[in-house]
Amino acid sequence: MSGLSVRDLRVVFDGFVAVGGVDLDVPAGDVRFIIGPNGAGKTTLIDAVTGLAKATGSVTFEGQELLGRKVHKIARLGVGRTFQTATVFEELTVLQNLDIAAGWARGPLTLLRTRKGVPPEVEKALETVRLTGVRDKPAGTLAHGQKQWLEIGMLLVQNAQLFLLDEPVAGMSHDERDATGELLGQLSKDHTVVVIEHDMDFLRRFARTVTVMHAGKILSEGTVAQVQADPKVQEVYLGHPVEA
């Protein structure tokens, strides 16, 4: 079974059920948006998939079981993620950030030497995420949107096959959103992308499929139109019928 497959996933924090038995299939090459009100368990779901939160059930990616593995081992299987607040290494330059992201497989001798030039995959990622012009700037000085793109660039050079993006366009300007959407389109050609997002306009324009979560469970799943027409979704998530 290729792509991401989640079976009966449960995450419990001190008796509070954050994710209560989720089944989810994201086929390879999909652009899946996960939406839901605050506290629906969206981020916890990603935390469980990436090994950050303890969970029961089963999560497989490209046939490999992820649950029970350590965070860095899961990352090495090609599962990459970004965070709600962009977390890049602020004191290091954009180039250094990307070079580190590209390097977990490097041997000790390579590590102890100084980087000479720009590795080709880093060069390519810089262009894809449009940061070539600021590559020698400290990542801490980047604009909010650029930091999110840098994180996506880091996933690219990390050779992630599955991109889990946690609210990538939150706080972005209109133009930055458009650019991010285009970037998603580019990524989806040879990656599987899962996006957590609140922005309905962004979702309508760029989602291929949508999963709606509510109170730790999957509420609805389908295309944008199908999900929007679902009365359950209108009730709990939007609170009123959608005019679309």
Residue (80 or 145) nearer to another protein, CB: 80
What Cα–Cα distance (Å) separates residue 134 from each residue in 93, 130, 142?
9, 9, 8
> Smallest gap, in angstroms, from Cβ of residue 71 to another protein?
4
- The kind and range of the H/E element at 151 are helix 144-157
Give me the DSSP letters along 12-41. EETTEEEEEEEEEEE-TT-EEEEE-STTSS
In the complex, the smallest distance separating the C-beta of residue 19 from another protein, rounded to whole angstroms, is 19
Shorter beta-carbon distance to another protein: residue 83 or 222: 83
Q: Which of 72, 85, 55 is nearest to 216 (CA)?
A: 55
Cα distance between residue 86 and residue 226, in whole Å: 32
Residue closer to another protein by CB (options 71, 225) is 71
Nearer Cβ to another protein, position 13 or 104?
104
Shortest distance, CB of residue 100 to another protein, whole angstroms? 5
Residues 6+ apart with CB under 8 A from 36: 42, 212, 213, 214, 219, 237
Whole-number minimum distance, CB 50 to another protein, in Å? Answer: 7
Shortest Cβ 17–another protein spacing (Å): 24
Residues of this chain that bind another protein (CB under 8 A): 50, 70-72, 75-76, 80-81, 87, 89-92, 96-97, 99-101, 103-106, 110-115, 140-141, 154, 158
Beta-carbon contacts of residue 104 (< 8 Å; ≥ 6 apart): 72, 75, 76, 158
First to last CA, the chain: 35
Decide whether 113 or 174 has the Cβ nearer to another protein. 113
Q: Which is nearer to another protein, 100 or 236 (CB)?
A: 100
Q: How far is the CB of 94 from another protein (least distance, A)?
A: 12
Tell me how far, at minimum, the Cβ of 89 lies from another protein, in Å: 5
* DSSP symbols for 67-136: TTS-HHHHHHTTEEE--SS----TTSBHHHHHHHHT-TT--HHHHHSPP-S--HHHHHHHHHTT-GGGTT
Q: Which is nearer to another protein, 96 or 132 (CB)?
A: 96
